[in-house]
Amino acid sequence: MTVISNGNYYVPRTKEDAEKGFWIASAASGAIMSTLPLFSKPFLKQMKAEHANNQQYKDAFIKSFKTSGLPEEGVNIIHQEFSPDDLAKLGTAREKEIFHKDVKAGLNAFYAPDAKEIHFNLNKASISAFHEAGHALNNLKSTWGNLLQKFRGPGYAIAGLMGTVALFSRPKPKENDNGLRDFVQNNCGKIAFAAMLPTVAEEALASHKGIKLAREGGLGEAAIKNLKKFYGKALMSYAGYAIATGLSVGLANKIMQHYTRPKEVSPQQEFPQGYYPYQRF
């Protein structure tokens, strides 16, 4: 038992306290992360609606792609759609076997940096192609964009690691904290959030470049305005992911601190009848 200067004690936590903290912290993080689909809902809703406007985006994209400098870099467009074999699987238990189902359905798109390929459904989801070409430009023709892209993977890994760090016990009182390890543990929520920022920044940059491409491809101002709105919603889903990650790790950290840090008690609390162990008569 440690007596501190104000006469109070530190009482270590029990194993049961730590277990309780672990379960509450895990449940609280899970609850925050379960809100994530809410952030991507507006994006998905507009994505479906834009299938009907595909032609104007498709024309502008093909035009802008030719002068983007990307073909010279070896970038290719890969049209993704359901094959007859895929269509037979749709709506059955085998649906999950369909490779790149979302992309084929025109609900998603991606740029594959290793293969230098932009994958999307040309007949449905051309609105997302400008942004994917923006990723290709970041990858191949931008120092900053390329650097941010390189930080994405490690950033996700660090954020995941912080989620684990948050769930470790804190056996000593806060005032005894020192050094890097304690700093990382005490700030794991903020670090997890910061680790996600390169991803958010690279997404924003890809959209910025995508909008520029759309203008160069001759897309009208009304459609440009719509494109900006759509890309804003996409960015919101990434920003939401970063915020939810930071909050969930931070909350787990607070809960674990509460349940595992030694508890400060006053002699009056521990010995309410007035028999203080250090009293001298």
Alpha helix ranges (H) inside the chain? 15-33, 36-49, 54-66, 84-89, 101-104, 129-141, 143-165, 179-186, 188-216, 221-260, 267-270
CA 231 to CA 25: how far, in whole Å? 34
* Count of residues that interact with Zn ion, criterion CB under 5 A: 1
Nearer to Zn ion, 145 or 250 (CB): 145
Residues 225-264 within binding reach of Zn ion (CB under 5 A): none
Nearer to Zn ion, 149 or 245 (CB): 149
SS3 assignment, position 68:
coil
Q: How far is the CB of 160 from Zn ion (least distance, A)?
A: 20
Contact 189, 183 (CB under 8 A): no
Structure tokens at 105: 């359905």
Nearer to Zn ion, 18 or 235 (CB): 235
Q: How far is the CB of 121 from Zn ion (least distance, A)?
A: 16
Nearer to Zn ion, 208 or 263 (CB): 208
Return the number of other C-beta atoms located less than 10 Å from residue 6's C-beta: 7
For 83-138, the DSSP string reads -HHHHHHTTSGGGGGSTTHHHHTTS--EEETTTTEEEE-TTT-GGGHHHHHHHHHH
Q: How far is the CB of 203 from Zn ion (least distance, A)?
A: 5
Q: How far is the CB of 207 from Zn ion (least distance, A)?
A: 8
Nearer to Zn ion, 137 or 166 (CB): 137
How many angstroms from the chain centroid is the CA of residue 204?
A: 14
Q: How far is the CB of 90 from Zn ion (least distance, A)?
A: 26
Q: How far is the CB of 135 from Zn ion (least distance, A)?
A: 6
Residues 106-125 within binding reach of Zn ion (CB under 5 A): none
Return the number of other C-beta atoms located less than 10 Å from residue 243's C-beta: 17
Name the residue with the smallest CB distance to Zn ion.
203
Point out which span in 22-30, 140-148, 195-203, 241-249 binds Zn ion (CB under 5 A).
195-203
Nearer to Zn ion, 58 or 135 (CB): 135
Q: How far is the CB of 250 from Zn ion (least distance, A)?
A: 26
Nearer to Zn ion, 9 or 241 (CB): 241
The two most distant CA atoms of the chain are separated, in Å, by 94
Q: How far is the CB of 132 from Zn ion (least distance, A)?
A: 7
The identity of residue 77, as a single letter, is I
Neighbouring residues of 65: CB distance < 8 A, sequence distance ≥ 6: 71, 77, 129, 133, 213, 217
Point out which span in 23-31, 172-180, 199-207, 253-261 binds Zn ion (CB under 5 A).
199-207
Nearer to Zn ion, 50 or 203 (CB): 203
Q: How far is CA 150 from CA 143, 154, 169, 203, 207, in A?
A: 11, 8, 33, 13, 18
Point out which span in 137-145, 151-159, 171-179, 200-208 binds Zn ion (CB under 5 A).
200-208
Structure tokens at 110: 């991606």
Point out which span in 68-76, 90-98, 198-206, 272-280 binds Zn ion (CB under 5 A).
198-206
Q: Return residues touching Zn ion (CB under 5 A).
A: 203
